Amino acid sequence: MRDSTKTAIVLSSLAVVFLALAAGFLFKAWGQTAPLQTIPLVDPEFIKTATVRVSYAELAAAGEDLSDFDCYGCHEKGKPPTLRFDENHNLIVPEEHKDIVMGHGRNSRNNLCTNCHDEANLELFQTRDGRELKFSESTQLCGSCHGPTFRDWEAGAHGRTSGYWNRDLGPISRKDCVSCHNPHSPKFPGRHPAPPPHILHPTLKPAPVSEGEH
């Protein structure tokens, strides 16, 4: 038999095999393929990059309305505001500030306005060591008490750091503490974990393990 004849027979046989396979797939000779489950989209809450709050410094830089920070729009300059307490010595939040929930720490001793705000100048903060800070310097105020956390923030291990780790390539920026924490009630609320990777073929079962296989 000539080589050309052999080649023709092989090609014809292959063509018949492929046609048979095509017909089998077309008429579902091997049964119906199970439809893939619809994979739900990930909740945008898990992938958004914005912080939960916006700091005073960010508002000022963006040219936003800062009237909420104008203490002397209501308070009288040169006259420290009077603080009132209940029978358990808990601070009574005035009606004008009813949106503020005081919960700074595990006891009421930290829930005192003048621990952070300078009663002689409400437009400034005051630290325990006597420094005066602007509202835009609130992270320095937090660091005056929360030293270890402030150290971690400076090193980039705590909080939100963006930019370049290699300073030769470009600058970095760090979000202020109040971009995530409410300064009056800084405990960060818990969050549900993100969902695990979706199984593409949930109907497939792992092969059974025979005795002796571990």
Consecutive 10-residue averages of pLDDT for the chain (214 residues): 78 90 83 74 83 93 93 92 90 92 84 92 92 95 95 91 87 93 90 78 57 52
pLDDT score recorded for residue 163:
87
pTM of the model: 0.70
Q: What pLDDT does residue 207 have?
A: 56
Shortest CA distance to 53 belongs to which of 122, 111, 138?
Answer: 138
CA–CA distance from 193 to each of 41, 46, 184 (Å)?
Answer: 15, 9, 26
Range of the domain at 78: 44-179
Task: Judge whether 82 lies within some domain.
Answer: yes
Please give the pLDDT value at position 2: 67
Report d(CA 183, CA 45) in Å as an integer.
23
Nearest to 144 by CA among 179, 120, 115: 115
- Number of structural domains, the chain? 1
In a domain, 24, yes or no: no
Predicted local confidence at residue 48, as pLDDT? 83
| Inside any domain, residue 37 | no
Closest CA to 187 of 140, 149, 138, 137: 149
DSSP label of 178: G
115 within domain boundaries? yes
Per-residue pLDDT, 109: 79
Domain assignment present for 38: no
How far from each other are the two terminal CA atoms of the chain, in whole angstroms? 55
Cβ atoms < 10 Å from Cβ of 104: 21
CA–CA gap between residue 136 and residue 56 (Å, rounded): 6
Residue type, 169: L
**CA pair distance 159, 181, nearest whole angstrom:** 10
